[in-house]
C-alpha cells in the first residue's frame, strides 16, 4: 500500500476525485455535506494507510484488548488532521478550492457513544495507546443512537434521540467478513443475532494507529419471507427489529445501572463478539490457546464487560474442548479489571433468574467459579467470610455480583486515582484486598494532551511551544519547563491574553448555539459534568442564590461583587427525578438572576443545553475557575478536573478523587481547597441531621427558593429539593456550605489581583503534565499488563 500523497496539490486532487467518485458531484454543484464527506474520505485514506503500515511493522507479542461499553469520541476531523500532520496541507488545499474548512468542521456530528467520564477516558486511552505504539484494539458497541441530545423546555430537560449516523458514518470501515453469531438462551429456547464489526482507525499522533472495533447487531434473516408473502408485514420484520434493538441505543445512565434485560444483552453481545474475535485471530495466526495469556489481555472497563469472563471459559471448554482446570488457568491470566466508582449502587449485580433465562450456560460456569473460590475462602479466612465474598448475593434477590467475578478472575484490579484505589481496598472490596493483596493497584486517570490542549486550546499551545518547544504534545511532563515562565511578566501577559481570547472563542460558539454569551470581563466559573447529587451542583447553586439574596435584600452592594459568570453544563439520566429537578432549578435561578437589574450584570448564570465533547473543547480553555466540589469519597477520579487545570483554570475543590493529586502537584497556594475530608464525612454520617444547624447563608438561599422566588411564586415546585436538603442531604451539601462559601470568597480576593492569578494559572499548567493519558497507559503497562 502506498500512502496517499501529502502535498497540497495531491490533496486537492484526492479531494476532487472523492467528490466526483464518491458523491457524484463537481465542486461547483456540491453541498456542504458532499464536501464534508469528500474531505473525510480523503483523510480516511491516510488513516487507512497508517493502519496498514502499523500492522506490517514488527508487533509486540501482547495486544491490549480494551473492552468498554462506552467511547465518548468527540469529533474526528481535527484530531485526524492533527495526528496525520495534514492540518496545514488540508487547510491550504481546501482554500485553493474555495472551500471553508471551518464550515466543514462545524458540519461534523460527534459520535456520543458514552455518558461521561468513563466513556471519554476510554477514548483518551485508545488515543494514547495508538500514539505510544502499544499494540491495541478497543472493543465496544456501535450504538445507533448515542447519549441523548438535551434541550430545555420551560427550564426542564427534554431528551431527544441522538441520530449521530444520520449523515452516514464516514470514518468507519465496515468489516462484514468478520461478523460473528452470538447466541442467547438455552438449548430449547435459544436465539441468535449477528454481530458485525465496524472499525474506526485511531491514529496515533504523527505515527502509529490502533483500531476501535464497534459491533452492530443484525438479524440472521433480515426478512421472514413467508410472513411477508402472507401479508403479515409486522411479523416479517419482527426478528430484524428485535435483533437491531441490541445495538440501538446507549443506556443514558451513569453511576446507577438500570438492571434492564436489554442492557445485559448488550453487554454479552459485545463481550462475546470481542472475545471470539481475539481467539479466532490467535488461532488464525498459528497460535494455540495456551498462548492466549501471552498474546492478549482483556482490560475490563468497569463491570459492563465482565460477562466476558464466563464467555471465555465457555469458549475454551465447549468449543475448544479444554478441561475446566486448563481453561480456568488460561482465563485467570487474560483479564484485568478497572473499577470506576465508589458508589455501591453503581457496582452491577444481575439477578440469577435473568441470567438463567438469558445465559444459562454462563450461569453454570459462574456457579462453579464461585464454588471453587469459596472453598479456598473457607480454608484461608473461615466460613464467616463466605457470604460477603461470594459472587452470588442472596438478597434482596439472588444475584451475581459482577465486581466480585471480575476481581476473582482478574490478574489485577485497579482504581482510578490514589484516594479511590485506597478506598477500593479499604471500603468497597476489603475482603478481596485481604485475600488477594497483590492484585490491587492504582492507575490515576489521564487525558489526551492532543485533544484537550493542542486542539482545544490552539493559542495556549502556541504559547507553550514558543516557550519550550513542542515536545510536550507527546511528553506532557515537559510542561514543567514552563515553571520559570510563571515569573516572567511578559509571559504572564501573553498567557492572560490567551485566556481572554479563549473567552471570545467560547462566545463565538455560545452566540450561535445558545443565543447567549458571557461577559468577557467576568471571572468564568465553570461546573460541567453529569448531573448527580454526589457531584453537588446544588452546593454551587445555593451559593449563587445566597449571593443574589445578599444584593436584593440590600445587605451587599452589587458594586462589591466580583463580576462572575457561573456556567453549568450537565445532562441528567432521564429517570433520575431529583437530578432533573435540580436542572430545572438551575435554569429557574438563571432566569431570575440574569434579569434582575439590581445585580448590575455582575452575576450571571448560564446553562447551555446539551453539554458534549465539542462544547467542552470551547468551555474548558476559557474557564478561570473549575468547580470540583463532590462530597469527599464519592468521585472516583474525575477527568474534567485535569482538563481544566491543564488549560490554566484554578480549581476550587474538595479532597476527592484526583483533586487530591492535582492539589499536591500544583501546590496548596494554587488551589482553593475546602470541605470535609473523606474520614470526616464517614465520621459525621451516622449522626448527620442536616436541618439542625444550617449555616445562615445556606438558610437564606433555601428560604428564597422555598418562597417561590424562582418559580413565579409557586412554592411547591422546588419544595422537594429544599425538604430533601433539610431532612436527608445524603451528600452533605449543607455541612460543607460555609467552607465552600468561604473558599469562594478567597477566589474573589485572589482574582482581584489578576497578575498573581495568572501566575497561579501558569503554575497549574506547568505542574499538571502528570495527568496525561500517555502516562496512565505507561502505568497500566507497568502495573497491570506486565
Ligand atoms: O464517576 C467516575 C469518574 O470519577 C471517573 O473519572 C470516570 C473515569 O474513571 O469514571 C466514572 N465512573 C462511571 O462513570 C461509572 O462507574
Domain range summary for the chain, segments of one domain joined by + = 61-75+110-347+403-442, 502-782
Q: How confident is the model at residue 122 (pLDDT cuts 50, 70, 90)?
A: very high
Is any atom of ligand 1 closer than 6 Å to the C-beta of 119?
no
Q: What percent of the chain has pLDDT over 90?
A: 94
Cell readout for 684 is 459525621
pLDDT of residue 257: 72
Is any atom of ligand 1 closer than 6 Å to the C-beta of 170?
no
pLDDT at 733 over 50: yes
Q: How confident is the model at residue 288 (pLDDT cuts 50, 70, 90)?
A: very high
Rounded Cα–Cα distance for residues 119 and 72 (Å): 5
Least confident of 219-228, 265-274, 557-566, 571-580: 219-228
pLDDT of residue 2: 55
Which architecture characterizes domain 502-782 according to CATH? 3-Layer(aba) Sandwich (3.40)
Q: How confident is the model at residue 188 (pLDDT cuts 50, 70, 90)?
A: confident
Is any atom of ligand 1 closer than 6 Å to the C-beta of 340?
yes
> DSSP string of 486-505?
GG-HHHHHHHHHHHHHHHHH
Is any atom of ligand 1 closer than 6 Å to the C-beta of 302?
yes
Pocket test for ligand 1, best of 253, 637, 644, 776 (most atoms within 8 A of CB): 637
* Contact between residue 325 and residue 94 where contact means Cβ atoms under 8 Å apart: no
pLDDT at 27 over 70: yes
Rounded Cα–Cα distance for residues 266 and 326 (Å): 29
Pocket test for ligand 1, best of 341, 348, 661 (most atoms within 8 A of CB): 341
pLDDT at 1 over 60: no
Cell readout for 288 is 494455540
In SS3 terms, 62-100 reads as CEEEEECCCEECCCCHHHHHHHHCCHHHHHHHHHHCCCC
Least confident of 171-175, 184-188, 481-485: 184-188
pLDDT tens per residue across span 657-708 = 999 999 999 999 999 999 999 999 999 999 999 999 999 999 999 999 999 9
Atom of ligand 1 nearest to the CA of 254: 14
Rounded Cα–Cα distance for residues 67 and 119 (Å): 11
| Those residues with Cβ within 8 angstroms of residue 376's Cβ, 6 or more apart along the chain or in another chain | none
* Contact between residue 582 and residue 529 where contact means Cβ atoms under 8 Å apart: no
* Contact between residue 219 and residue 248 where contact means Cβ atoms under 8 Å apart: no
Residue labelled with grid coordinates 492533527 = 82
Distance (angstroms) between ligand 1 centre and the Cα of 77 equals: 26
Distance (angstroms) between ligand 1 centre and the Cα of 660 equals: 16
> DSSP string of 31-47?
-HHHHHHHHHHHHHHHH
**CATH class entry, domain 61-75+110-347+403-442:** alpha beta
Same fold for the domain at 61-75+110-347+403-442 and the one at 502-782?
A: yes
Helices and strands of the chain, counted as H and E runs: 33, 23
Tell me the catalytic residues: 340, 529-530, 535, 639, 643
Q: Residue 391: which of 350, 426, 354 has the closest Cα?
A: 350
Q: How confident is the model at residue 345 (pLDDT cuts 50, 70, 90)?
A: confident
Q: ipTM of this model? A: 0.99
Distance (angstroms) between ligand 1 centre and the Cα of 638 equals: 6
pLDDT tens per residue across span 516-555 = 999 999 999 999 999 999 999 999 999 999 999 999 999 9
pLDDT at 759 over 70: yes
pLDDT tens per residue across span 388-413 = 999 999 999 999 999 999 999 999 99
Pocket test for ligand 1, best of 66, 70, 72, 117 (most atoms within 8 A of CB): 117
The stretch 19-28 carries a mean pLDDT of 97
Distance (angstroms) between ligand 1 centre and the Cα of 251 equals: 15
The stretch 445-463 carries a mean pLDDT of 98
pLDDT tens per residue across span 64-95 = 999 999 999 999 999 999 999 999 999 999 99
Say if residue 396 is preceded by a cis peptide, omega within 30 of 0.
Answer: yes
pLDDT at 508 over 70: yes
* Contact between residue 603 and residue 561 where contact means Cβ atoms under 8 Å apart: yes
Distance (angstroms) between ligand 1 centre and the Cα of 172 equals: 27
Is any atom of ligand 1 closer than 6 Å to the C-beta of 697?
no
Is any atom of ligand 1 closer than 6 Å to the C-beta of 659?
no
Amino acid at each position: 500500500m502506498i500512502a496517499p500523497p501529502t502535498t497540497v496539490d495531491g490533496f486537492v486532487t484526492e479531494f476532487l476525485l472523492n467528490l466526483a467518485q464518491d458523491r457524484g458531484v463537481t465542486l461547483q454543484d456540491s453541498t456542504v455535506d458532499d464536501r464534508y464527506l469528500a474531505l473525510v474520505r480523503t483523510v480516511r485514506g491516510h488513516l487507512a494507510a497508517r493502519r496498514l503500515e502499523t500492522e506490517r511493522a514488527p508487533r509486540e507479542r501482547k495486544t491490549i484488548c480494551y473492552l468498554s461499553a462506552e467511547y465518548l469520541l468527540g469529533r474526528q476531523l481535527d484530531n485526524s488532521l492533527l495526528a496525520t500532520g495534514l492540518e496545514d496541507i488540508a487547510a491550504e488545499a481546501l482554500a485553493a478550492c474555495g472551500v471553508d474548512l471551518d464550515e466543514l468542521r462545524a458540519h461534523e456530528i460527534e459520535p456520543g457513544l458514552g455518558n461521561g467520564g468513563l466513556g471519554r477516558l476510554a477514548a483518551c486511552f485508545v488515543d494514547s495507546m495508538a500514539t505510544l505504539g502499544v499494540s491495541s484494539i478497543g472493543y465496544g458497541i456501535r450504538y445507533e443512537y448515542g447519549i441523548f441530545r438535551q434541550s430545555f423546555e420551560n427550564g426542564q430537560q427534554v431528551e431527544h434521540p441522538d441520530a449521530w449516523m444520520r449523515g452516514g458514518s464516514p470514518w468507519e470501515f465496515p468489516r462484514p467478513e468478520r461478523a460473528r453469531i452470538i447466541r442467547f438462551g438455552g438449548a430449547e429456547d435459544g436465539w441468535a443475532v449477528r454481530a458485525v464489526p465496524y472499525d474506526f482507525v485511531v491514529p496515533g499522533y504523527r505515527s502509529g494507529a490502533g483500531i476501535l472495533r464497534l459491533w452492530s447487531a443484525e438479524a440472521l434473516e433480515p426478512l421472514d419471507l413467508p410472513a411477508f408473502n402472507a401479508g403479515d408485514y409486522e411479523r416479517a420484520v419482527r426478528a430484524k427489529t428485535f435483533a437491531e434493538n441490541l445495538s440501538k441505543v446507549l443506556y443514558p445512565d451513569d453511576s446507577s445501572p438500570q438492571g434492564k434485560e436489554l442492557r445485559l444483552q448488550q453487554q454479552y453481545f459485545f463481550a462475546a463478539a470481542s472475545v471470539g474475535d481475539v481467539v479466532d485471530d490467535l488461532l488464525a495466526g498459528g497460535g494455540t490457546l495456551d498462548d492466549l495469556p501471552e498474546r492478549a489481555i482483556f482490560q475490563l472497563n468497569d463491570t459492563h464487560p465482565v460477562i466476558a469472563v464466563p464467555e471465555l471459559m465457555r469458549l475454551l471448554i465447549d468449543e475448544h474442548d479444554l478441561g475446566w482446570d486448563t481453561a480456568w488457568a488460561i482465563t485467570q491470566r487474560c483479564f484485568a479489571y478497572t473499577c470506576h466508582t465508589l458508589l455501591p449502587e453503581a457496582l452491577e449485580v444481575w439477578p440469577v433468574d435473568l441470567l438463567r433465562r438469558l445465559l444459562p450456560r454462563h450461569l453454570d460456569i459462574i456457579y462453579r467459579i464461585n464454588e471453587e473460590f469459596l472453598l479456598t475462602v473457607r480454608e484461608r479466612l473461615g466460613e464467616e467470610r463466605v457470604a460477603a465474598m461470594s459472587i452470588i448475593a442472596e438478597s434482596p434477590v439472588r444475584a451475581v455480583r459482577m465486581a466480585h467475578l471480575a476481581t476473582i478472575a482478574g490478574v489485577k484490579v485497579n482504581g482510578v486515582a490514589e484516594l479511590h484505589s485506597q478506598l477500593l481496598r479499604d471500603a468497597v472490596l476489603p475482603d478481596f484486598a485481604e485475600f488477594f493483596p497483590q492484585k490491587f493497584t492504582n492507575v490515576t486517570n489521564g487525558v489526551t494532551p492532543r485533544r484537550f490542549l493542542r486542539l482545544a486550546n490552539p493559542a495556549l499551545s502556541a504559547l507553550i511551544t514558543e516557550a519550550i518547544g513542542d515536545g510536550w504534545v507527546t511528553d506532557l511532563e515537559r510542561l514543567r519547563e514552563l515553571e520559570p515562565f510563571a515569573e516572567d511578566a511578559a509571559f504572564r501577559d501573553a498567557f492572560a491574553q490567551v485566556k481572554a481570547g479563549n473567552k471570545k472563542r467560547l462566545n463565538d460558539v455560545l452566540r450561535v448555539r445558545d443565543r447567549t454569551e458571557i461577559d468577557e470581563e467576568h471571572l468564568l466559573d465553570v461546573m460541567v459534568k453529569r448531573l448527580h447529587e454526589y457531584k453537588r451542583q446544588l452546593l454551587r447553586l445555593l451559593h449563587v442564590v445566597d449571593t443574589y439574596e445578599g444584593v436584593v435584600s440590600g445587605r451587599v452592594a452589587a458594586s462589591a461583587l466580583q463580576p462572575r459568570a457561573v456556567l453549568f453544563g450537565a445532562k441528567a439520566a432521564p429517570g433520575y427525578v431529583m437530578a432533573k429537578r435540580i436542572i430545572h432549578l438551575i435554569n429557574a435561578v438563571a432566569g431570575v438572576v440574569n434579569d434582575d437589574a439590581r445585580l448590575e450584570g455582575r452575576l450571571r448564570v448560564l446553562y447551555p443545553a446539551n453539554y458534549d465533547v465539542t462544547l467542552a473543547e470551547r468551555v474548558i480553555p476559557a474557564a478561570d475557575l473549575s468547580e470540583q466540589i463532590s462530597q469527599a469519597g464519592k468521585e472516583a477520579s474525575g477527568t474534567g478536573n485535569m482538563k481544566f487545570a491543564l488549560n490554566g483554570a484554578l480549581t476550587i475543590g474538595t479532597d476527592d478523587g484526583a483533586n487530591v493529586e492535582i492539589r499536591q502537584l500544583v501546590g496548596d497556594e494554587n488551589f482553593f481547597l475546602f470541605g470535609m475530608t473523606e474520614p470526616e464525612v464517614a465520621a459525621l454520617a451516622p449522626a448527620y441531621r442536616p436541618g439542625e444547624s444550617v449555616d445562615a447563608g445556606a438558610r437564606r438561599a433555601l428560604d428564597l427558593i422555598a418562597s417561590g422566588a424562582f418559580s413565579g411564586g409557586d412554592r411547591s415546585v422546588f419544595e422537594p429539593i429544599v425538604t430533601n436538603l433539610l431532612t436527608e442531604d445524603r451528600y452533605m451539601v449543607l455541612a460543607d456550605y460555609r467552607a465552600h462559601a468561604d473558599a469562594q470568597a478567597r477566589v474573589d480576593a485572589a482574582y482581584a489581583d489578576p497578575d498573581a492569578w495568572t501566575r497561579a494559572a501558569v503554575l497549574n499548567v506547568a505542574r499538571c503534565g502528570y495527568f496525561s493519558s500517555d502516562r496512565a497507559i505507561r502505568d497500566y503497562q507497568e502495573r497491570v499488563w506486565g
